[in-house]
């Protein structure tokens, strides 16, 4: 399989080049030259499969099977996806697909662990050290840092906005040491993302070191996220589902659209956002106007210029009419998010995290309008990752899983940098 840039469909790179470059030289995002359509028998196998890893192998064999032998792919998917994505009924016709059963309790474990093992596979082949740059508003940093920790041939640099990441999240990527560096940037998430993009667009820098991105702009993080959409469908055993996705950079939702292109029988996706609502606004008005992000209590979705929007346009040939046929937008204020968490806890005994809460409420609104539907919303993180928000709302302490608690005891190590590119570049080239 070859991959093209969303900004130039005539030039192709291999899977290895795509994953190690992260972003195309022209600033576009890589997309597979075609979406393999799963056969009836593959879909049946997915319906009958017993685990995420098993589902993932069937799909990744179609996506990556030309490039990686089946045995290596089996090893890779089993090692990366050694946890489950249970489907839990929350209320009548609304189910949570819990994506927080991986090591850092967030859905980003799926893509991050897959990508790390893919880079390791290529490192074994040619031994070239890769520097991974990742901008995070919270969960990406921890998932990437933990997914890549001690993976040979990889150095990870995590950029995060100072003071805008929850303390426990911060611990998850600042305490690891080894091949993981944490860079505390005096700016916003968008500033961090801009620094990473500038580094990728800096030809001299790229000449001197192999840089890649582990944000959802990297195809190896984004494509594996399609696996659990199939898993949701096979767990619910229904052909009438609508899937609701709490969205920030839109990598997760775009992976759902890819799953659909590959044959997942889901026609409608709900794009649930917090106050950073440029995509719902686009769906309603056909005008896309990215702008600086605002801070909310669903902070992993505080993105004002969602990178993967470019991929959504690409999938639907930039036709607003086609996009809005498959995507419905919803946005929620912090107060609304608090109310949802409280209501669902009191009525259904289920504790939502602030991100999943937006997707739950979008599902509830959709169901009110189309009562025949069955909805799956993606519960993208465990509520215990946001105790500052959730405990107050539900009036008790969310139980903290042991593997999360373990991070709290580490000591933070970070490097403080301004949001100026020259400083970041200086750090990378060793002048700091």
Give contact residues for ligand PLP (rule: CB under 6 A). 106, 108, 138-140, 216, 246-253, 300-301, 355, 380-381
Collapsing DSSP to helix, strand or coil, 421 comes out as helix
In the complex with ligand PLP, which residue's Cβ is closer, 54 or 358? Answer: 358
DSSP element (H, E) containing 289: none
Q: What is the DSSP letter of 30?
A: E
Residue 218 C-beta: closest distance to ligand PLP, Å: 12
In the complex with ligand PLP, which residue's Cβ is closer, 122 or 228? Answer: 228
Residue 247 C-beta: closest distance to ligand PLP, Å: 4
Residue 42 C-beta: closest distance to ligand PLP, Å: 25
> How far is residue 363's CA from residue 344's CA, in Å, rounded to a whole number?
13
In the complex with ligand PLP, which residue's Cβ is closer, 227 or 250? Answer: 250
Q: Residue 307 in contact with residue 215, Cβ under 8 Å?
A: yes
In the complex with ligand PLP, which residue's Cβ is closer, 139 or 170? Answer: 139
> How far is residue 258's CA from residue 359's CA, in Å, rounded to a whole number?
19
Tokens of 368: 């009110």
In the complex with ligand PLP, which residue's Cβ is closer, 153 or 290? Answer: 290
In the complex with ligand PLP, which residue's Cβ is closer, 122 or 230? Answer: 230
Collapsing DSSP to helix, strand or coil, 92 comes out as coil
For the chain, first and last CA: distance in Å?
40
> How far is residue 52's CA from residue 231's CA, in Å, rounded to a whole number?
7
Residue 282 C-beta: closest distance to ligand PLP, Å: 14
Length in residues, the chain: 432
> How far is residue 189's CA from residue 366's CA, in Å, rounded to a whole number?
31
Between the alpha carbon of residue 33 and those of residues 8, 30, 36, 83, 226, the distances in Å are 12, 9, 9, 30, 17
Tokens of 221: 């993080």
**What angle, rounded to 10 degrees, do the helices at 52-64 and 227-236 form?**
130
Q: Residue 429 in contact with residue 208, Cβ under 8 Å?
A: yes
Residue 121 C-beta: closest distance to ligand PLP, Å: 24
CA 225 to chain centroid: 7
In the complex with ligand PLP, which residue's Cβ is closer, 108 or 231? Answer: 108
| 425 class by beta-carbon count within 10 Å (0-12 exposed, 13-18 middle, 19+ buried) | middle
Residue 86 C-beta: closest distance to ligand PLP, Å: 17
In the complex with ligand PLP, which residue's Cβ is closer, 43 or 195? Answer: 195
Q: What is the DSSP letter of 39?
A: P
Residue 253 C-beta: closest distance to ligand PLP, Å: 6
Residue 113 C-beta: closest distance to ligand PLP, Å: 15
Residue 327 C-beta: closest distance to ligand PLP, Å: 13
In the complex with ligand PLP, which residue's Cβ is closer, 251 or 329? Answer: 251
- Which residue has the closest beta carbon to ligand PLP? 139
């Amino acid at each position: 399989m070859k991959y093209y840039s969303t900004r130039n469909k005539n030039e192709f790179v291999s899977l290895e080049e795509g994953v190690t470059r992260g972003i195309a030289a022209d600033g576009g995002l890589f997309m597979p030259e075609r979406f393999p359509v799963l056969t009836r028998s593959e879909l049946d196998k997915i319906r009958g499969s017993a685990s995420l890893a098993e589902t993932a192998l069937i799909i990744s064999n179609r996506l990556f099977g030309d490039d990686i032998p089946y045995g290596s792919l089996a090893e890779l998917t089993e090692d990366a996806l050694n946890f489950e994505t249970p489907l839990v009924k929350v209320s009548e016709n609304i189910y949570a697909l819990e994506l927080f059963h991986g090591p850092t309790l967030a859905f980003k474990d799926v893509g991050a662990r897959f990508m790390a093992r893919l880079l390791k596979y290529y490192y074994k082949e040619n031994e070239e050290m890769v520097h991974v740059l990742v901008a995070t508003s919270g969960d990406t940093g921890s998932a990437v840092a933990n997914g890549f920790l001690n993976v040979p041939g990889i150095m990870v640099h995590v950029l995060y906005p100072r003071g805008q990441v929850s303390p426990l999240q911060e611990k998850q990527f600042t305490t690891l040491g080894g091949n993981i560096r944490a860079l505390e940037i005096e700016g916003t998430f968008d500033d961090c993302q801009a620094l990473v993009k500038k580094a990728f667009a800096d030809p001299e820098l790229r000449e001197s070191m192999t840089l890649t991105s582990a944000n959802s702009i990297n195809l190896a993080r984004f494509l594996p996220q399609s696996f659990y959409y199939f898993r949701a469908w096979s767990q619910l055993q229904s052909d009438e589902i609508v899937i609701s996705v709490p969205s920030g950079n839109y990598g997760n939702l775009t992976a759902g659209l890819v799953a659909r292109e590959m044959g997942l029988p889901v026609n409608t996706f709900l794009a649930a956002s917090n106050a950073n609502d440029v995509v719902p606004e686009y769906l309603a008005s056909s005008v896309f106007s990215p702008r600086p992000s605002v801070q909310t209590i669903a902070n992993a979705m505080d993105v004002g210029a969602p990178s993967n929007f470019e991929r959504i346009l690409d999938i639907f040939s930039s036709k607003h009419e086609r996009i809005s046929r498959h995507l419905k937008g919803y946005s929620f204020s912090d107060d609304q998010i608090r109310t949802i968490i409280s209501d669902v806890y009191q009525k259904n005994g289920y504790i939502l995290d602030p991100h999943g809460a937006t997707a739950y409420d979008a599902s509830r609104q959709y169901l009110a309008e189309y009562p025949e539907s069955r909805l799956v919303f993606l519960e993208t993180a465990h509520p215990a990752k946001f105790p500052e928000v959730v405990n107050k709302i539900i009036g008790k302490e969310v139980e903290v899983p042991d593997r999360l608690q373990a991070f709290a005891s580490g000591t933070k190590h970070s490097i403080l940098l301004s949001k100026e590119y020259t400083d970041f570049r200086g750090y990378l080239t060793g002048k700091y």
